[in-house]
Amino acid sequence: MNSRLGTLSLLSLSLILAACGGNTAPSDPSTFNLSTLAPGQKKEINSKLKINVVLVGYRPTAPGQVAGPKDVNVSDFGDIMPATGRNIARIPSAYGTLEPTGNTFDYDYNFVYANKSFEDGFFSYLTSKDVGTEKPLTYYQKAYNCQNTPKDGSAPACAAPASNIAQPITGNLEIDGVLAENWLADHANDTGVDSSQYTIFLVNWYGRSDFKFHSFTRTDAADSDTKSPFGAKASRRTNAWGGTPRAGGKTQRVWFYDLSANPEAWTTSWDISNADVDGDGVPDYRMPPIWEYGTRKATYRPFTKVGPDLARVARYVAVDLLFTPSPIYRAELTPPDMPENINLNVAFKQGAGAPAPTTVFNGALSQERLKVLQPFATFSNSLREAPLTGPIFDAYKCLFPQPNPDPKLPPVLCSPDRADATGDRLFNIGLNELRDQYKDKAAYQVPIFAFNDNQNTQPGLLGVAIDDGVTGTQALVYSFLTPELNKDFGYGFTDTITHEVGHHFSLSHPHDGYDSESNTEYGPSGPFTFVNAGDMSNTVMSYNDLTRGFGQFNLDSQYRYLTSAYLNNANAVLELVQQAGKDKVQAVTAAAKNADGQFAGAITSYQNMEYLSAAKQAHTAYRAVIDAARSAGVNVQAYKWYERLDGLSLGQKAQPRRADNFLPVQGTAVRPETTAFLTRLRLSK
Ligand SMILES: [Zn+2]
């Protein structure tokens, strides 16, 4: 590696010397002459990314044979896997113009069939003591056997297995998903694969003599405030896991997906009787357990679909949502002057008799988890409290449309003439608070409103990270707690606020996103129902409550967004310098040339997948550019969305925002947890 870099450096040095020798024209003193930086331009950092696809328990069709059940061929992936990727900021793009983040990819797929000794080793590990434990069938394994879930909430029971299933589940070996992930990462090298590269393990245990019905768990997962054990819930059994940050300096980028596990609730793989499981009138495409492909009994799906289904999961879950996802918001926050100090400004709106804020929110813990997303900023957090009464309580209630007394008419909305209909009153109250309180603050304030309701005013929304309604800039963070969400479902504020601020800092869910080759924005419903499998990975951005912090895939993508943001905001600052005249250009030239070299180093690190190092170098270079510009007297202003909403201000009636500019993005920043999920399950019988 070192010697190759040495050769490259010598080569580029000689090219630079040749260029200098041949260039006799004087450079224009009113513009910068740089190589990596390009004042006023938006640059995209392209990288070639190896993606390993390791097939464990699948075989290709032997030459001359008829393709048979459970055969999976590389050609199954050929038409489905994307050759390239291009990230966009999803909510800003929903306002009508696609907004690239500056991160593009050429994917280089490496398909590998694991050999028998790898498979023997893995499946033997899963059954070994302290790894797999025999447990009773889960609620959803029973639901699969009977193909129903009783309305009264009791366990599914049937005198005989449902006639349309291929076979009943008769056992449940429970396995910690992280143990399985780590084994695969640690043994990838036996298949010739480097697990520090993005690696998908597509697993099938079924068909081997040592097969056991099994499910993956994260049993230690619990809410940060209430300690409610979400990992123990039947609905949180998984058939996939990955993205766990590995301690001890080793980086792994592994996600496994096991079609022979469970079936489970999160992707509704247990239900092979109903096409439309969420009740929206559209068939919901999802992957059944592997034994439902190509049986002679009431075939759910032909066996020829195993390979293409795995390819869909590889593309629309692993590549698009986990490995190289598009962010929901810009990582810049306040372009072109990105903040160096960030305060989590938490305003509790406190219902009378609701739990004391410090018993349901740990600001230090949320800050500790969030700071990795802005690793060069200095963090703080603050908490203030006001009663949830009067106009703010009325505005809060407006978020939840009231049923119309005449059921044939649409629900009653508080602000029917506005782009975000129900949320407009609350948005204006938040905006006024910001304008009133933020003007003297030097640090960037994340405006977090914690509605600590003492009644069940609303049906179960945990939080939302909303934008400004005009430019798609991240604006306010709301989080909600009701007695039902707190006492019955076990939620506090800490994990919701961490999740919502994760959105505010850019991140998408692992279950919705953007596919650039088909220019498709998608979430887990209809033909993309199966992408709920993305939630089966290490991230608090998931809906399944199995992780409290940010995983390897979050960190990789955030540091890529930041590297590009520093590069492009340095370009914007240099453009401001050029506009200020040639004296300013001269004053900034030395700093710009130095930064230019640092950005070249940052891009090399980026292309070597050293993303934190890349972002760090880019940050240093960016700071040098902005500091030099300011020293030279160039005016660089941070974009503050709350100063830029014309017609919205204290005491004035707001002007209607244009509804036709507002294209809803499927499954964006809303976190309609728990009751929404339970509703979906109730509808899925
Ligand atoms: Zn969310």
- pLDDT tens readout for residues 178-207: 999 999 999 999 999 999 999 999 999 999
Task: Among 284, 302, 320, give the residue marking a domain's end.
Answer: 302
CA quadruple 314, 88, 341, 645: dihedral sign: negative
Going from the Cα of 464 to the center of ligand 1, the distance in angstroms, rounded, reads 6
Q: Is residue 497 part of a domain?
A: yes
Q: Which of 320-329, 484-493, 623-632 has the lowest mean pLDDT?
A: 484-493
Q: What pLDDT is stored for residue 26 in this prediction?
A: 62
Is the per-residue pLDDT at 362 higher than 50?
yes
CA distance 548 to 541: 9
CA quadruple 513, 662, 478, 457: dihedral sign: negative
Q: Which tokens in the block code for residue 13? A: 């040095």
Q: Which tokens in the block code for residue 120? A: 């023997």
Going from the Cα of 676 to the center of ligand 1, the distance in angstroms, rounded, reads 13
Q: What pLDDT is stored for residue 288 in this prediction?
A: 96
Are 152 and 292 within one domain? yes
Mean pLDDT to the nearest integer, 553-579: 98
Q: Is residue 529 part of a domain?
A: no
Going from the Cα of 507 to the center of ligand 1, the distance in angstroms, rounded, reads 9
Q: What is the pTM (predicted TM-score) of this model? A: 0.91
Q: What pLDDT is stored for residue 647 in this prediction?
A: 58
Going from the Cα of 143 to the center of ligand 1, the distance in angstroms, rounded, reads 28
Going from the Cα of 215 to the center of ligand 1, the distance in angstroms, rounded, reads 26
Going from the Cα of 462 to the center of ligand 1, the distance in angstroms, rounded, reads 9
Q: Is residue 474 part of a domain?
A: yes
Task: Among 248, 273, 302, give the residue marking a domain's end.
Answer: 302
Is the per-residue pLDDT at 13 higher than 50?
no
Q: Where are the strands (E) in 265-394, listed by range?
A: 341-350, 378-387
Task: Among 250, 278, 302, give the residue marking a domain's end.
Answer: 302
Q: How many domains does the chain have?
A: 3
Check if the beta carbon of residue 465 is closer than 8 Å to that of residue 677.
no
Who has greater pLDDT, 304 or 573?
573
Mean pLDDT to the nearest integer, 270-283: 93
Closest CA to 39 of 597, 602, 596, 620: 596
For residue 462, CA distances in Å to 159, 500, 606, 659, 672 come to 40, 9, 36, 26, 6
CA quadruple 197, 203, 208, 210: dihedral sign: positive
Is the per-residue pLDDT at 510 higher than 80?
yes
Mean pLDDT to the nearest integer, 512-529: 94
One-letter amino acid identity for 414? C
Q: Which tokens in the block code for residue 176? A: 């910690």
**Which pLDDT band holds residue 672 (cuts at 50, 70, 90)?**
very low
**How confident is the model over 521-561, as pLDDT tens digits?**
999 999 999 999 999 999 999 999 999 999 999 999 999 99
**Which pLDDT band holds residue 399 (cuts at 50, 70, 90)?**
confident
Going from the Cα of 493 to the center of ligand 1, the distance in angstroms, rounded, reads 14
One-letter amino acid identity for 119? E
Check if the beta carbon of residue 566 is closer than 8 Å to that of residue 621.
yes
Going from the Cα of 443 to the center of ligand 1, the distance in angstroms, rounded, reads 25
Going from the Cα of 541 to the center of ligand 1, the distance in angstroms, rounded, reads 6
Going from the Cα of 184 to the center of ligand 1, the distance in angstroms, rounded, reads 29
Q: Is residue 501 part of a domain?
A: yes
Going from the Cα of 433 to the center of ligand 1, the distance in angstroms, rounded, reads 24
Q: Residue 459: is the preceding peptide bond cis (ω within 30°)?
A: no
Who has greater pLDDT, 419 or 396?
396
pLDDT > 90 in the chain, percent: 75
For residue 74, CA distances in Å to 77, 79, 115, 208, 668 come to 6, 10, 16, 22, 33
274 is in which domain, residue-wise?
115-302
Going from the Cα of 542 to the center of ligand 1, the distance in angstroms, rounded, reads 7
Is the per-residue pLDDT at 567 higher than 50?
yes
DSSP 8-class letter at 472:
-
Q: Which of 24-28, 328-332, 506-510, 614-618 has the lowest mean pLDDT?
A: 24-28
Are 175 and 274 within one domain? yes
**Which pLDDT band holds residue 401 (cuts at 50, 70, 90)?**
confident
For residue 284, CA distances in Å to 55, 306, 308, 511, 523 come to 26, 17, 17, 15, 12
Going from the Cα of 573 to the center of ligand 1, the distance in angstroms, rounded, reads 32
Are 571 and 672 within one domain? no
Q: Is residue 24 part of a domain?
A: no
**How confident is the model over 465-509, as pLDDT tens digits?**
989 888 999 999 999 999 999 998 999 999 999 999 999 999 999
Going from the Cα of 672 to the center of ligand 1, the distance in angstroms, rounded, reads 8
Q: What pLDDT is stored for residue 424 in this prediction?
A: 83
Mean pLDDT to the nearest integer, 172-177: 98
Going from the Cα of 669 to the center of ligand 1, the distance in angstroms, rounded, reads 5
Paired sense of beta strands 254-258 and 341-350, if any: unpaired
Q: Is residue 530 part of a domain?
A: no
Going from the Cα of 75 to the center of ligand 1, the distance in angstroms, rounded, reads 36
Are 592 and 458 within one domain? no
Going from the Cα of 509 to the center of ligand 1, the distance in angstroms, rounded, reads 6
Going from the Cα of 539 to the center of ligand 1, the distance in angstroms, rounded, reads 11
Closest CA to 262 of 144, 356, 360: 144
Going from the Cα of 325 to the center of ligand 1, the distance in angstroms, rounded, reads 15
Going from the Cα of 498 to the center of ligand 1, the distance in angstroms, rounded, reads 10
Q: What is the mean pLDDT of the chain?
A: 89
Are 631 and 663 within one domain? no
Are 188 and 244 within one domain? yes
Going from the Cα of 294 to the center of ligand 1, the distance in angstroms, rounded, reads 37
Q: Is residue 618 part of a domain?
A: yes
Going from the Cα of 510 to the center of ligand 1, the distance in angstroms, rounded, reads 9
Are 172 and 289 within one domain? yes
Which residues make up the environment of ion ligand 1, defined by Cβ < 5 Å? Answer: 671
Going from the Cα of 537 to the center of ligand 1, the distance in angstroms, rounded, reads 15
Packing angle, helices 363-370 and 494-504, rounded to 10: 40
**Which pLDDT band holds residue 17 (cuts at 50, 70, 90)?**
very low
Helix (H) or strand (E) holding 513: strand 513-515
Going from the Cα of 99 to the center of ligand 1, the distance in angstroms, rounded, reads 21
Q: Which tokens in the block code for residue 170? A: 């008769």
DSSP 8-class letter at 314:
I
Going from the Cα of 534 to the center of ligand 1, the distance in angstroms, rounded, reads 13
Q: How many CB atoms are closer than 10 A to CB 170?
A: 11
Question: In the block, which residue shows the tokens 């989590």?
Answer: 344
Going from the Cα of 673 to the center of ligand 1, the distance in angstroms, rounded, reads 9
Q: How many CB atoms are closer than 10 A to CB 484?
A: 17
Helix (H) or strand (E) holding 240: strand 240-242
Are 663 and 629 within one domain? no
Going from the Cα of 358 to the center of ligand 1, the distance in angstroms, rounded, reads 23
DSSP 8-class letter at 658:
-
Are 215 and 185 within one domain? yes
Who has greater pLDDT, 533 or 413?
533
Mean pLDDT to the nearest integer, 241-246: 97
Going from the Cα of 348 to the center of ligand 1, the distance in angstroms, rounded, reads 20
Going from the Cα of 671 to the center of ligand 1, the distance in angstroms, rounded, reads 4
Are 676 and 618 within one domain? no
Q: Is residue 162 part of a domain?
A: yes
Going from the Cα of 234 to the center of ligand 1, the distance in angstroms, rounded, reads 22
Are 269 and 388 within one domain? no
Going from the Cα of 423 to the center of ligand 1, the distance in angstroms, rounded, reads 17
For residue 659, CA distances in Å to 181, 431, 655, 656, 664 come to 46, 19, 12, 8, 10
Check if the beta carbon of residue 49 is closer than 8 Å to that of residue 81.
no
**How confident is the model over 147-163, as pLDDT tens digits?**
998 988 889 999 999 99
Going from the Cα of 675 to the center of ligand 1, the distance in angstroms, rounded, reads 15
Going from the Cα of 236 to the center of ligand 1, the distance in angstroms, rounded, reads 17
Q: How far from chain centre, in Å, is Cα 406? A: 40
Going from the Cα of 667 to the center of ligand 1, the distance in angstroms, rounded, reads 8
Going from the Cα of 190 to the center of ligand 1, the distance in angstroms, rounded, reads 38
Q: What pLDDT is stored for residue 407 in this prediction?
A: 82
CA distance 144 to 169: 8
**Which pLDDT band holds residue 421 (cuts at 50, 70, 90)?**
low
Are 215 and 121 within one domain? yes
